[in-house]
Structure 1
Amino acid sequence: MPGELPHPERSDIQLTDVLFALSDPERLAITRQLADGPLDMAECHATDPNLPKSTKSHFMKVLREAGVIRNEPNGRRRILTLRRDDLDALFPGLLDSVLRD
């Protein structure tokens, strides 16, 4: 399908990649926004409003490649979803502890 981005299979998600992706405060803020459900990429934002669009895109790429989020096309837009089921199955309790404020 056009616009599809590669996502790791559940079995390919590594704890070190997830921890690295969540170690950046801006990427963690984005992940926390997705904890309540999917968001349009345009609605999801980092805490620093002055970040360039390219930096935000890079944050999304790191989170997607680590297996933390799904980034899927929806017409001309993109929908971001937290991969809670996969992460909870692989690393029980990790998301709950990391997503606490």
Structure 2
Amino acid sequence: MVERTSHRAAPEHTHPDDVPVQTALAALADPVRITLVRELSGCPAWTRSCGSFDVPVGKAALSHHFTVLRGAGLVEQRDEGPKRVNRLRREEFDARFPGLLALVLRED
């Protein structure tokens, strides 16, 4: 018997090495996802739960945005009790796409 600490399945993650550039660019093309990435870039890893972001979308849409970011290798998530916490995979993503995050995170 497998013991689960949560009612939901653990999120699946894509390593940045397996991400085509078109997927990375598409993930970063959405304003909500850019906001999520920018906010995560200013926080220590694993300190922000999904519900802690102030974005103008509902819970289902926010879940979709995080799924896209995971699929692009930008975000890693894990469950801590009832919360799902996040970390930006900056180092791994920068190794795959040097300079891309720096451009996205730059405030004009």
**TM-score normalised by length of structure 2:** 0.82
Residue identity opposite 1:31 in structure 2: V
- Structure 1 counterpart of 2:76: 70
Spell out, residue by residue over 1:9-32, the C-alpha distance to the aligned partner (whole angstroms, 9 max, x if none).
242122211110010011111110
Aligned partners of 2:59, 2:11: CA distance in 1, in Å? Answer: 18
Counterpart pick for 2:96 among 78, 86, 90: 90
Aligned-pair distance for 1:34? 0.3
Q: Identity, % of aligned pairs?
A: 34
3-state secondary structure, aligned to 1:78: strand
Q: Which runs of 5+ in 2 are unaligned?
A: none
- Return structure 1 stretches of 4+ with deviation > 6 angstroms: none
Counterpart pick for 1:45 among 31, 54, 72: 54
Pairwise CA RMSD: 1.6
Residue identity opposite 1:44 in structure 2: F
- Structure 2 counterpart of 1:11: 17
Aligned partners of 1:70, 1:24: CA distance in 2, in Å? Answer: 18
**TM-score normalised by length of structure 1:** 0.87
Q: Which runs of 5+ in 1 are unaligned?
A: none
